[in-house]
Amino acid sequence: MKEFQLIEQFFKNKGQKRRDVMLGIGDDCALVQPAEGKVIAISCDTLVEGVHFFADMPAHALGYKSLAVNLSDLAAMGAEPAWMTLALSLPDVNQQWLADFSSGLFEAAEYYGVALVGGDTTRGPRCINVTINGQVPKGKALKRSGAKIGDWVFVTGSLGDSALGLDMLRNKQVIKPEHKEYLLNRHYYPTPRVLAGQALRGLASSAIDLSDGLVSDLSHILKASNVGAVIDANAIPLSSSLTESVGAEQALAYALTGGEDYELLFTVPEAQRGAIDTALLHAGVKFVKIGQICSGNKIKFTLDGQPFTPEFKGFEHF
């Protein structure tokens, strides 16, 4: 199968149709029309076989996740998803793999309202690169640099499940059968908190998505905002599947450093705490307060009311 046949069969005229796409797949560039009063938010992520996913990862899950991780970046900025491009490197043309991959990709795209408007395919080691474009009202984007001393620190969802799911795939953990499906789905099918991010506009002082672990990602906010934080380890949300599988101590280690949760971590001024409760209730997202921004430039932890020093750190790409 030739390149253009591949594109025609598996990607062209598939998925979400948007009226703001003036020209999509089939020309040298796509043409889109941003809404009045909004700016474009752009992010891209690359997933490389053997680095970010195993060769036997189900193609449907890989297609879904390749878009979901990008959507999480938009969520952290409070942006509305709109358009994406896909660059796909493949060692060969496996039509069943492509059918499953595109099915997962467009399942996520349809749900979150994203149109595929272009991209590229080439022969090489399996590698997926998605560039996502979203829109956010001018001056309303959430950033990492707005946290202030006294702001409260919150996270959505539960943390650590995806990392344990990954270790299960690596055969590093033996998991009870009743927890396997949940943990594997948390790793394969993350839930980008798109509506929550939009609900936080004008309320949160800073935000980031948790891709590299709470320790690493909170550190990005602290550096950008030139502040420190005190985090109550007892308040960090852990699922019953996580704690029942590995115990409380190791569950906390997964939550702090595991990565690939794709939940939101955000800070909120005291004056907006009530509004946050209402906004995220309407967005249908569970969230919990885990600490407070303070002076300094480091993270301090408490556990059972006492100072606590974790002996682990978050994921680093290099």
Q: 176: which 2 tokens?
A: 């009870």
Residue 42 covered by a domain = yes
Buried b (16+ CB within 10 A) or exposed e, 167-199: bbbeeebebeeebeebbbebbbbbbbbbbbbbb
* 167 and 252 together in one domain: yes
Ligand-binding annotation for 187, yes or no, is: no
- Compute how many other C-beta atoms are within 10 angstroms of the C-beta atom of residue 99: 14
Final residue in a domain of this structure, among 109, 137, 165:
137
Ligand-binding annotation for 161, yes or no, is: no
* 83 and 174 together in one domain: no
Domain count for the chain, please give it.
Answer: 2
Please name the amino acid found at residue 109.
A
HSE toward the beta carbon, residue 151, CA cutoff 13 A: 27
Ligand-binding annotation for 28, yes or no, is: yes
Q: What CATH number has the domain bearing residue 288?
A: 3.90.650.10
Ligand-binding annotation for 212, yes or no, is: yes
- Residue 258, sorted as left (phi over 0), alpha (psi -120 to 50) or beta, turns out to be alpha
Final residue in a domain of this structure, among 94, 114, 137:
137
- Of 86-90, 138-142, 279-283, 300-304, the poorest mean pLDDT is in 279-283
Please name the amino acid found at residue 203.
L
* 17 and 48 together in one domain: yes
Residue 318 covered by a domain = no
Buried b (16+ CB within 10 A) or exposed e, 231-261: bbbeebbbbebbbebbeeeebbbbbbbbbbb
Q: What CATH number has the domain bearing residue 84?
A: 3.30.1330.10
- Write the CA distances from 302 to 5, 131, 215, 233, 295, integer angstroms: 58, 39, 14, 6, 16
Question: Quick one: which of 73, 63, 143 has its CA closest to 108?
Answer: 63
Ligand-binding annotation for 232, yes or no, is: no
Q: In the prediction, which pLDDT does 316 show? A: 45
Q: How confident is the model at residue 309 (pLDDT cuts 50, 70, 90)?
A: confident
Instruction: Determine what percent of the chain is predicted with pLDDT higher than 70.
Output: 93
Q: How confident is the model at residue 279 (pLDDT cuts 50, 70, 90)?
A: very high
- Of 36-50, 211-225, 298-312, the poorest mean pLDDT is in 298-312
Average pLDDT rounded to a whole number, residues 107-123? 93
Q: How confident is the model at residue 313 (pLDDT cuts 50, 70, 90)?
A: low
Q: Where are the alpha helices (DSSP H) in the chain?
A: 3-10, 59-77, 95-112, 161-169, 177-188, 194-199, 214-225, 240-246, 248-257, 273-283
Ligand-binding annotation for 119, yes or no, is: yes
Average pLDDT rounded to a whole number, residues 78-85? 96
Residue 164 predicted with pLDDT over 60? yes
Residue 316 covered by a domain = no
Residue 318 predicted with pLDDT over 70? no
Ligand-binding annotation for 144, yes or no, is: yes
Ligand-binding annotation for 261, yes or no, is: no
3-state secondary structure of 100: helix
- Compute how many other C-beta atoms are within 10 angstroms of the C-beta atom of residue 263: 29
* 156 and 132 together in one domain: no
* 269 and 234 together in one domain: yes
Average pLDDT in the chain: 92
Taking the model in full, what pTM does it have?
0.91
Residue 36 predicted with pLDDT over 80? yes
Q: How confident is the model at residue 140 (pLDDT cuts 50, 70, 90)?
A: very high
Range of the domain at 288: 152-308
Ligand-binding annotation for 284, yes or no, is: no
